[in-house]
A and B are shown apart, each in its own frame.
Chain A
Amino acid sequence: MVQETGTDLYSGVLRFYTLNDVRKYLKELLERYQRDYDRSSNVIGSLLRTEGGKGMEVIMSKGWAKVGSMFVNASDPDKGGMEVTFQLVTEMKPRISKTEEILKTFDQVEQLPIEANSTYLLYLHGGIPERLVIDSTEPPPESFSFKGDYTTVQ
């Protein structure tokens, strides 16, 4: 399997040890979504420019047929591929807006009175950060350090 385009969308819970780490993660997530969006939309954009004046019909394939529970396109792979990329780009927009909005207003979370030594559980659903749990019951792990003397042996 080779990923042609798109983005990995994580669903699950991540634990962070500082609020700054949460902010950093959200920033990296947004950058990744924007990068993936730019890459996919460039493909669509260049095709629309090449086929100037023809509008959306350039990327709407007529070769789809319902096979079982799935739409399959065996007769028009170029347009079929372009159409699904366009669908992907359309779906990426709200994800980017939502993540952008969360990051823009994240200082409101940072201003909350938070107990020292709290950790943070971030719940993501389909790649969108939806909820944050401030967990004062599980402190961050102690900073690790180790010193020792050893010898090499036969």
Chain B
Amino acid sequence: MGRVLEVTVLTEGVDATRLNDKATDNVNSNYSLNVSLSERDRSSDALVLSFTLELTSHPQAARFKVSGSATLKGTKDEIKEAISAPDDNKPPPILLMVYERIYSTIYVLSGALKVPHPLPNLLKKSS
């Protein structure tokens, strides 16, 4: 059953907190991301993962916590490739896909809280 991997991301919970009264949205700020992915269900052609992504801005201005599920449908090899990190510094492709899908939610929330927007760019391992 060869086919292209299909990924569905469902956001199940969002928590956004403004951490600093003096924070403004017109400064550059990096965000650190703490991520947790765990298997919720698996079948012959699908894997369902639970995810929790916690983003904190530096300097501290805001924290966002987004949780939900990601469903991967495809062949065994496609699923394996999506959850395997290419090397120690790079995240598994599924994390990038989840981040891409939830990015618009975080962008809107950071605007509402008037804190710096996180960057949509690729993620690298924090040192």
Contacts and interface: CB of A to CB of B under 8 A. Distances in A.
A149 B42 CA distance: 25
A92 B80 CA distance: 37
A46 interface: no
Contact of B34 (A15, A140, A144, A149): A149
Interface string B29-45: 01111111111001111
A17 B42 contact: yes
Interface residues of B, number: 34
A151 B36 CA distance: 14
A153 interface: yes
Contacts of A12: 1
Contacts, number: 84
A152 B33 contact: yes
A146 B93 CA distance: 12
Interface residues of A, number: 21
Interface in A96-154: 140-141, 143-154
Contacts of A147: 35-37
Interface of B: 1, 30-39, 42-45, 47, 49, 55, 76, 80, 83, 85, 91-92, 95, 118-126
